[in-house]
Amino acid sequence: MQIETIEVDEVQGQFKDVVHRVVAGLHVILSENHKPVAHLLPAGTRAAGLHAGAITTSSDFDSPLPEEFWIPPR
């Protein structure tokens, strides 16, 4: 998928054209002052990396569970 970054100020006069390009498969990153603020993707599209860092796991994730976990309470 092709990616293009456009400043918010630039897109205001050409929004309809940008939407048509997104529907055709373009991934648009909207930015303000050269900082990304939004992504425009065709409906139903998934983009890898959009939520990078949102989920973490502990360093002991795959360690064995303690014995008390397996013993039912009395």
pLDDT tens-place string over residues 26-35: 999 999 999 9
CA distance 70 to 51: 35
38 has pLDDT over 80: yes
List beta partners, residue 1. Answer: none
Whether residue 33 is contained in a domain is answered as yes
Poorest-pLDDT segment among 39-43, 47-51, 57-61: 47-51
What percentage of the chain reaches a pLDDT higher than 70?
Answer: 100
Q: Would residue 24 count as lying in a domain?
A: yes
Asked, for residue 62, whether it belongs to a domain, the answer is no
Structural domain boundaries, residue 24 = 1-44
The total domain count for the chain is 1
Domain CATH number, residue 17: 3.40.1620.10
Is 74 within a domain? no
